[in-house]
Amino acid sequence: MAIVLGEERHPLIQVFNQCTSAPATQSTPPMHVMVCERWSGEHGFENFLEDCGLRKPGQTIGRMMDSGDYCKQNARFMSQAEQQGEKRKKRQFIQNTLNQVLRSGPYSQRRKK
């Protein structure tokens, strides 16, 4: 069911619907990304517009480090380059965390005296 404001369909309805009801497909497994309570319910779309503002040409909704739920603190409109940067930050964070665990954890190559 599409959300309609007044007589016309708002241009950001499709973006909002993608956030609130992104089904899993064969090529994309379910990610269990949630939408905050503020963006759900009767006035969810209006709150989404208030929090994110209008989209500039070439932007789509993105999340910080391409992870976490859709909410005011974590989602905003971003360019493709900004979204790629967020994915890069996430990969770097995961790599750094794994390196730290492997260097200091039970799998470390350090010799015990």
Residue pair 74/66 in contact by the 8 Å Cβ criterion: no
Provide the mean pLDDT of the chain: 79
Q: Can you give the pLDDT at residue 29?
A: 53
pLDDT at res. 4: 47
Residue 93, pLDDT score: 93
From CA 11, how far away is CA 62, in angstroms rounded?
17
Structure confidence at residue 80 (pLDDT) = 92
| Residues of the chain by 3-state class (helix, strand, coil), percent to 5 | 40, 10, 45
Residue, of 19 and 102, whose pLDDT is higher: 102
Residue reference for tokens 């089904």: 23
Residues 6+ apart with CB under 8 A from 36: 69, 70, 71, 72
Query: Which of residues 46 and 26 earns the better pLDDT score?
Result: 46
pLDDT at 5 over 60: no
- Look at residue 7 and tell me whether its pLDDT is greater than 80: no
